[in-house]
Structure 1
Amino acid sequence: MTDLSAFPITRRWPPRTPGAIQLYSWPTPNGVKVSIALEEMGLTYDAHPVSFDRQDQMTPAYLSLNPNNKIPAIIDPAGPGGQPLALFESGAILIYLAEKTGRFLPQATRYEVLQWLMFQMGGIGPMFGQLGFFHAFAGKEIEDPRPKERYRAEVARLLRVLDTGLAGRDWIAGDYSIADMAIAPWLRTLREGYKAADLVGWADLDNVPAYLDRFLARPAVQRGLVQPPRV
């Protein structure tokens, strides 16, 4: 097994499986992107829970791996050239894993997959998250309706863009890809976590609801959605 002792985070969360990718995460929409990808790609990994309840993401051990104090992050003992690779930012991790395995980022549609991945990272994730804050969390106590309405309208617009992109397709870039692994967990959270479907015209969408249901029916997705276990 590659020695990972040079990474301070491994003293807080020791590796359990020789040679396995070390995943530091929590089952949020951003976190499960990577656990789903690891399951879909059949890669061996140790899932370490970075609990928000305990503020694990703010500890020196975690910040030594990701100074931006967000999840997920990974260490791959068998990175490029056989050397360990530490990586944060979920989109970068998805691209890395796809290139490592040669799966879910087809050369023929590479840039189409990447454009939809960036669409999630730059639009869906930030805007859905803000709507969740104002609709389901502490922001709902703010009396001024303008912040919530701003994000509600933008989420509804992004959903219409996605709905148009899915016309005549099962998956957003043709074949199932890392773009779907990035987008669909946020749709699930919008519908089931934030309970905001009615707010953004979910029932009026032609393609998005069935797209999410197809995604959630995949066995690897079901496994990835519960990693790491909440403890």
Structure 2
Amino acid sequence: MADDYTPPEVWTWEPGNGGAFAAINRPTSGAQVDKALPEGEHPFQLYSLGTPNGQKVTILFEELLEAGFSDAEYDAWLINIGDGEQFTSGFVALNPNSKIPALLDKSGSEPFRVFESGAILLHLAEKFGAFIPTDAKGRAECLSWLMWQMGSAPFIGGGFGHFYHYAPAKIEYAIDRYAMETKRLFDVADKRLGEARYLAGDDYTIADMAAYGWLGAIAKGLAYGNAATFLSVHEYVNVQRWVDELTARPGLRRGRVVGRASAGEGRYLKERHSAEDFKALEPGVI
């Protein structure tokens, strides 16, 4: 990549654009392959992948089941975005934006779709009356932190994660720009978690589930190579406390291992169709 690159007057797409993700990125939307999605027997059909965004919903489902909501049984189907499965006609019918996760809710008289992770979390939390405050003040705080996470994810993932770890060339300006913003977001969370047990206050909510995959993976050195050291995330002691507390939750521990293409090593599940599926994991994983 030339240091003296000057953008053309009109940008045109070339198949090689996108570095590690060039094979799946396109400047257009819509289905590229005609293929239906599978369906299971449970009321909720989730089509996803165990990325930080995908984990949000499987964590909520498992937390609902852990809390005794037996009607929250679900099938989790793997959508391998590296293979372009998000561009099949079946998936695009659920999410025209071709991003995981996408949910088919068959629990009522007429099935309907829900897409975007935050919308799915809100839909399920309201449907079951769990993990979201019912008073106006508490609900506003929960939704504020949920939307904070939704707005911050592109800076952490598509910004810092991409330019620091995935981009074919290291661009100092881009890395500095998004490292600064990622550290600012960690600082926002750290200050909040210094005054409250959870993001929305005293109670564990969907706001915590939404933020856990993004903040937790970096905080524990599980994302973007050497990012934890590069960002000095050990300094955010309140975030570290929060991550440790959430990681001890059985529902969360189950939810975070669902939907991984690398399921063969005994630490993850490729798909989830029954609570019995977790018995295939190595001892101590959940």
> What TM-score does the superposition give when structure 2 sets the normalisation length?
0.72
Pairs within 5 Å for 1:115-126: 115-123=144-152, 125-126=153-154
Alpha carbons 1:166, 1:172 under 8 Å: kept: yes
- Bigger CA radius of gyration: 2
Q: 1:200 to 1:229 in 2, by over 3 A?
A: closer
Percent identity over the alignment is 41
2:213 counterpart residue number: 185
Query: Post-superposition shift, 1:144?
Result: 2.9
C-alpha distance in structure 2 between counterparts of 1:103 and 1:22, whole Å: 19
For these two proteins, the number of residue pairs brought into alignment is: 215
2:228 counterpart residue number: 197
Alpha carbons 1:33, 1:182 under 8 Å: kept: yes
Match of 1:16 among 27, 30, 40: 40
Alpha carbons 1:94, 1:178 under 8 Å: kept: yes
Partner of 1:133, secondary structure, is helix
Higher helix share: 1
2:239 equivalent to 1:212: no
> What TM-score does the superposition give when structure 1 sets the normalisation length?
0.88
2:180 equivalent to 1:153: yes
Task: Give a deviation string over 1:107-152, Cα, whole Å, max 9, x none.
Answer: 13100000000100001x1111021111221x1x424300011000
2:194 counterpart residue number: 167
2:118 equivalent to 1:91: yes
Query: Post-superposition shift, 1:229?
Result: 4.3
1:30 counterpart residue number: 53
2:252 equivalent to 1:221: yes
2:74 counterpart residue number: 45
Query: Post-superposition shift, 1:182?
Result: 0.2
Any unmatched runs of 5+ in structure 2?
1-34, 66-71, 262-269, 271-286
Give 1:118's aligned amino acid. M
2:13 counterpart residue number: none
C-alpha distance in structure 2 between counterparts of 1:101 and 1:136, whole Å: 39
Alpha carbons 1:78, 1:85 under 8 Å: kept: no
Query: Post-superposition shift, 1:199?
Result: 2.0
Give 2:40's aligned amino acid. R
Task: Give a deviation string over 1:157-215, Cα, whole Å, max 9, x none.
Answer: 11111111111322111200000000011013323121412222312113001111111
Partner of 1:47, secondary structure, is strand
C-alpha distance in structure 2 between counterparts of 1:219 and 1:40, whole Å: 8
1:5 counterpart residue number: none
Which segments of structure 1 move beyond 4 Å, counting only runs of 4 or more?
Answer: none
**Which of structures 1 and 2 has the larger relative contact order (alpha carbons within 8 angstroms, sep 6+)?**
1
RMSD (CA atoms): 1.5
C-alpha distance in structure 2 between counterparts of 1:218 and 1:25, whole Å: 22
